[in-house]
Amino acid sequence: METLSFLSEDQIRAVQEQFGTPAFVYDQKILEAQAQKALSFPNAYGLTARYAMKACPAAAVIRILNRAGLHIDASSGYEALRAMRAGVPAKEIQITAQQLPDNLQDLISQGVLFNACSLHQLASYGRLFPGNEVSVRINPGLGSGHSNRTNVGGPSSSFGIWHEYLQQVLATAAEHDLRITGLHSHIGSGSDPEVWQRCARLTLEVAAQLPDIERVSMGGGFKVGRMAGEVSTDLQEAGQPVTGEFERFAQEHGRKLHLEVEPGTFFVANAGALVCSIIDVVDTGAEGNRFIKVDSGMTEVLRPSMYGAQHPIVVVPADPEARGQGEYLVAGHCCESGDILTPAPDNPEELATRLLTEAKIGDVVFIGGSGAYCAGMAAKNYNSFPEAPEILLDDNGELHLLRQRQTLEQLLANESLPAFLTA
């Protein structure tokens, strides 16, 4: 059976009573501790660690991590504006986006950095800012991840400019008098130090052909073990061979390059949990399954339905009492057959029961590892369920409301009916 992480049973019951469920809770201590681990990433000639804010874009989380010394990786112009609203200086934000921001000119004028992810983006930037510096994202031809859906490198990925098009990159930069001072690659959510080393070598081979490169980003994607027994990336182990590659590059080319990394999951995954309530307990007969139904699901945690991702789940009795255990499947509240929180590992098409405390209606359920790609990446408002509130557990153990539960009026605020339907 899984166990609770940063919240006690009494704190979980307090969240249920004070804020209602479902509700996200983030732990300040874990956020700050993870930030310090990233800032200690091995490097040869200097380091900038960025937080990939798409993992959890709550303003308080962004501010805590920025105050701890992290810069920001934004995946859209909207995220850049959101980070600035949270108090992050524009110069500490870099945009790496699939979609070119409509307000790019305004963002760059304020000091935001830009990382071109395609030849089209590079040319567009050049037309707007001839003579400027720019960074480019290159797909080095290799990637890793726990599934194909989390691999953002190699020939199956649309992210970045394919490495064989480097001459076109140089030609486009020359056409607009751009200086390419930043180089970015991203291999995905893998944890193998050997893969990191190979990707570093491939990326630095590209850097050797770009004479103005000053900083090289190796991306993020440090694997985090959410479940008991899952292995997390050891940043020291992953970083040492990368440092060696940067030192080798300096010896061969006479350039000492600044290293950047940009994890997201690493900072927030286990710093967050979802607290929800059991609304029903049903079964499918003597030879079938027992289901716990909760007042949450893919509207807050989409990862199990999308990836077959595993999250620790703990049943907390509403009233402390001795209970037995049983095998259960956990289903969400959406009218959707895929709204299952206990899929088989890495296989959303199959189910896998969990050994849990005997469940009763009204009990609380703790879903751990929910800080990354949950509140920020969910089937929001499906079945018209409102967005869940977000709460911070501070260093002193106090709970603070970060975002109120959405109301139906807020959910419908931008809807309107044409006149002919109102008669």
Comparing C-alpha atoms, which of 215, 262, 239 is closest to residue 51?
Answer: 262
335 is catalytic: yes
> How far is Cα 42 from Cα 140, in angstroms, rounded to an integer?
22
Question: What does each C-alpha distance from 248 to 44, 141, 245 come to in angstroms?
Answer: 10, 21, 5
Q: Is residue 43 within 8 Å of residue 239, measured between CB atoms?
A: yes
β-strand partners of 356: 326
Catalytic residue from among 56, 334, 335, 374:
335
Of how many residues is the chain composed?
Answer: 423
Buried b (16+ CB within 10 A) or exposed e, 312-351: bbbbbbeeeeeeeebebbbbbbbebebbbbbbeeeebeee
> How far is Cα 53 from Cα 66, in angstroms, rounded to an integer?
11
Q: Is residue 224 within 8 Å of residue 233, measured between CB atoms?
A: yes
Pairing of strands 343-344, 93-96: unpaired
> How far is Cα 16 from Cα 136, in angstroms, rounded to an integer?
46
Q: Which positions are annotated as active-site residues? A: 335
